Every structure is written in C-alpha cells, then in structure tokens.
Amino acid sequence: MFVSKRRWILKTCGTTTPLQCLEPMLAMAEKIGFHDVGDLFYSRKNFKRPDLQISPHRGFEEEVALLDSLFEDGQAYCLGSINRECWYLYTLARGSGRDHRIQRCIDEMNNFTEPDQTIEILMTELDPQKMSIFTKIECDNAAEATEKAGIHKLIPGMVIDDYLFDPCGYSMNGIAKNTTAGEHSQGCYMTIHITPEPDFSYVSFESNVSSSNYTELIERVIKTFQPGKFVITIFANKTSSASNAFREIDHATRLGQCGQWKRRDIQYTRFPSYDLTYAHYSKFPS
Ligand SMILES: C[S@@+](CC[C@H](N)C(=O)[O-])C[C@H]1O[C@@H](n2cnc3c(N)ncnc32)[C@H](O)[C@@H]1O
C-alpha cells in the first residue's frame, strides 16, 4: 500500500477482497477533509481460478456492480482476449467527450497537469529455478532473495522494504531515495509481489518510474523472472515522457535476447486524462 498527498494505491493478491475496504476508506478520507475522488483505477488480470474467489470478486460484473453503487460515472472495460489472457479495468469517465465544453476544459487542464505514468508487468508460468529463490529453502531472508534475484537492480536507487513468506512467497515495496538532479523524481515507487508455487506461479511488477523508453526496464524484468507469458499495461498522461508508449510497444513485436517473447496482442485506449497501452506476450516457440 502506498499513501501520498493525493493518491492511495492498494495492491493485493489471492482471495483478498480489496473492494470491500472502499466504503470505509472513502468515509475515513471524508473525515479528514477529502470529499471528492478525482480519479479511480481498479484493474486486475483474469483470475486463474475464478471459482475460488469470494464476494464481491466472484466475477467482473459483481465488482462493477459494487463500484457502480459508489461512483456514478464509472466505466468498465476488458482489454485483451476474453477467452484467453485479458485484463479488466474500471475507471471514471470524467468528461469523456459527452459535453464538448467540459472536454475542452479537461484537454486544457491536461496540458498543465504534472507528468504521470504507471507501468505494470503481470507475469505467469514462471521459470521454476528463478521462482525457487523466493522460498525459505533457498533464501534465509527477504534481503537475500532481493539480492540473489537482482530485484535491487531493476530500478536502482530505491529504498526497499521486502518480505519473504514462510515457506514461500515474496513482496517488496520500494520508494526512490531523496533525489539529486538526474535521478528519479520524488514519489517514484516500485512494487513486486511473487507467488512462486509452480502450479500457479505469478509475479506482478508495478512502478510509476518515468521513461520515454520502457523496453530496457521490461527486458530487465522479464530476464529476472523468466515468465512463460506476461501482460504489460502502461498508463501515461499528456505531459508524461511515456506519452509515446504505444508506439514503442507497437514496435516491440519481440522482446528479450533472441526475441524469445513474441507479442500476441496489443490495444490502445484513450481516456479523458490518460492513454493506455495493453500488450500480451508469450514465449516463442511456446
Ligand atoms: C506475494 S504473497 C502475498 C502478497 C500480499 N498480498 C502482499 O501484498 O504483500 C503470496 C505468496 O506468499 C505465500 N504466502 C505464504 N504465507 C502467506 C500469508 N500469510 N499470506 C499471504 N501469502 C502467503 C503464498 O503461498 C504465495 O506464494
């Protein structure tokens, strides 16, 4: 979980029920003077075992119904292939071109907003040897796993808070150290969560690090974890240096040394304040 002046980020996994905390969390925010939600992004990959989830996460429709009961201008999307790999998103449609004057105001505001971007890499079918690092058999503690896997090198200059579960599993949150010119901007974070069990291995990577070229970072991440398949999502606003991310990912038809990962799907969506790129890759030949 990351909390900053204007933003609250919560990431969970397994059968946790993150949407259940929305109402109490909004009430808490109201109490300390935050009355309006400026924007909202609820997203997740398709579940591997949807039948094991509990309410309100038994299906995207149920999640949307709960969100719709709290937000009057929410819109729900599914990117990717609904019978294979896909990614669900619920976001607010503030403006969304319904009224041209409002849309013009939003466009003008967007030209003055602070740069903002988020990259997520959601990986499945990971290399068992890499995953064994995130077990108590191979590492005594989280710091050892972080070092052995090379997680500290993915985005250098982070203060890392890591945790190695017993008997296996790993989570880390990182915040950029106080910056000097040329390094990451303040408020830059990275968060990685690892489920190493071979039958349902899963690694999620997320960061708001700014970049006009994410290919190197993506290649470092997939080299570190060696997934069989992965989904990339990149949100970038107009002033972000990542505003050309779609073109970059569009060029990346293959990734990794020798192009082991082939792109199978790509989509581009424009929202009122952010552009979104979605792509799905899998190992070639699979
Ligand atoms: C990455 S962790 C859970 C991450 C957690 N939601 C978080 O945000 O830090 C999931 C992995 O840890 C393992 N694990 C072991 N003990 C756990 C516990 N008490 N709670 C959650 N996961 C645990 C699971 O088997 C799985 O491989």
**pLDDT grade, residue 217 (50/70/90)?**
very high
**pLDDT grade, residue 277 (50/70/90)?**
very high
Please report, for residues 95, 139, 275, the alpha-carbon distance to residue 77 in angstroms, rounded to integers and kept in the order given: 17, 40, 14
Mean pLDDT of the chain: 92
Calculate mean pLDDT across residues 245-263.
Answer: 96
Q: How many residues does the chain have?
A: 286
Nearest to 115 by CA among 211, 197, 201, 228: 211
Q: Calculate Rg over the CA atoms of the chain.
A: 19
Calculate mean pLDDT across residues 106-135.
Answer: 89
Q: Which structure tokens are listed for 226?
A: 């060696």
Percent over 90 (pLDDT), the chain = 85
Q: Which SS3 state, helix, strand or coil, does residue 240 take?
A: coil
Ligand 1 in contact with 272 (CB < 6 A)?
no
Which of 133, 165, 194, 225 to mutate to test ligand 1, by most ligand atoms within 8 A of the CB atom?
Answer: 165
Calculate mean pLDDT across residues 162-171.
Answer: 98
User: Which of 9-13, 95-99, 160-164 is the least confident region?
Assistant: 95-99
Calculate mean pLDDT across residues 134-156.
Answer: 98
Q: Indicate whether this complex's ipTM tops 0.90.
A: yes
pLDDT top residue among 9 and 113: 9
Calculate mean pLDDT across residues 118-140.
Answer: 98
- 130 Cα–ligand 1 center, Å: 17
Ligand 1 in contact with 126 (CB < 6 A)?
no
Calculate mean pLDDT across residues 17-39.
Answer: 95
pLDDT computed for residue 182 by the predictor: 52
CA dihedral 259, 213, 143, 172 (to 10 degrees): -110
